[in-house]
Amino acid sequence: MTHRWDPERYLAYADERGRPFLELLARVPVPDPARVVDLGCGPGNLTALLAQRWPGATVSGVDASAEMIAAARRDVPGIDFAVGDLRDWRAEPGGVDVLVSNATLQWLPDHLEVLTRLVGEVRPGGWLAVQVPGNFGEPSHTLRTELAHEAPYAEHLRDVTVPASHDPAVYLEVLAGLGCEVDAWETTYLHRLSGPDPVFTWVSATGARPTLQALPDDLRPGFEAEFRRRLAAAYPERPWGVVLPFRRVFVVAWVP
């Protein structure tokens, strides 16, 4: 990925983004793991929860974004954070007890193959816990795709990075085929957002960020303005706020 992440913008909805992590973590029944790794740790605010849950464990975080790791090192003391591509990451000899990847694998087109390899980095009897967005058929993503195919933007966005994921049954089949005991499920959250253009604020920090950064400076303002307009029409403001439905896919696997 050639785009740059913005930790502050990403944390604008930290509570909403953190809830799936907590629900994923709650389904990992491990009392005292020795080594815990968070792949795609972002700014480290959620990695800190791993250290709180398992204070006796060695907890580390890995992320491909130097900006995210810089924020994690600054704001989350006591945890080892490193810049790295999870496709290249390897565990230390003996493997890890708990391997977590939260809202990261969707950026890798071959992430089913990556997931298969990650099972091998977990020690026998350990756990793999994964969460990915599953909302790519929603207007928050389809409107970006439609606009990106229009002139004058299309010629600049043909090769832009776009996230994608699978249904829970696909992940279950892959991991069960490797002999894992698998718990897979999905949840759709109804996030109530406030402020000006809140859905744009959300997606511009995540799924739409590579698109926005790939545009030339003279075209980006026009794209943003039209994207904001379409999002506002798709997600109208109500007396109780703007509601953003967000489907998430969860997988917890015990490695035999």
Cα–Cα dist 82/155, whole Å: 35
Domain count along the chain: 1
Instruction: Kindly list the distances between the CA atom of residue 196 and the CA atoms of 71, 80, 104, 193, in Å, as whole numbers in the listed order.
Output: 26, 37, 27, 9
Domain enclosing residue 99, as ranges: 7-254
In a domain, 2, yes or no: no
| Separation CA 125–CA 154 (nearest Å) | 48
Task: Say if 21 falls within a structural domain.
Answer: yes
The pLDDT score that the predictor gives to residue 88 is: 94
Mean pLDDT to the nearest integer, 193-215: 93
Q: Is residue 96 part of a domain?
A: yes
Question: Measured between alpha carbons, how far is 3 from 210 in angstroms, rounded to an integer?
Answer: 6
* pLDDT of 167 above 80: yes
pLDDT single digits (tens) 100-119? 999 999 999 999 999 999 99
Instruction: Write the CB contacts of 183 (distance below 8 Å, at least 6 apart in sequence).
Output: 27, 250, 251, 252, 253
pLDDT band at 7 (very low <50, low <70, confident <90, very high): very low
CATH number, domain at 13?
Answer: 3.40.50.150
Is a pLDDT exceeding 50 seen at residue 179? yes
Q: What is the mean pLDDT of residues 87-110?
A: 96
Share of the chain above pLDDT 70, in %: 95
Residue 169 has pLDDT above 80, yes or no: yes
Nearest to residue 168, comparing CAs of 185, 180, 187?
185
Angstrom distance (rounded) from CA 197 to CA 256: 47
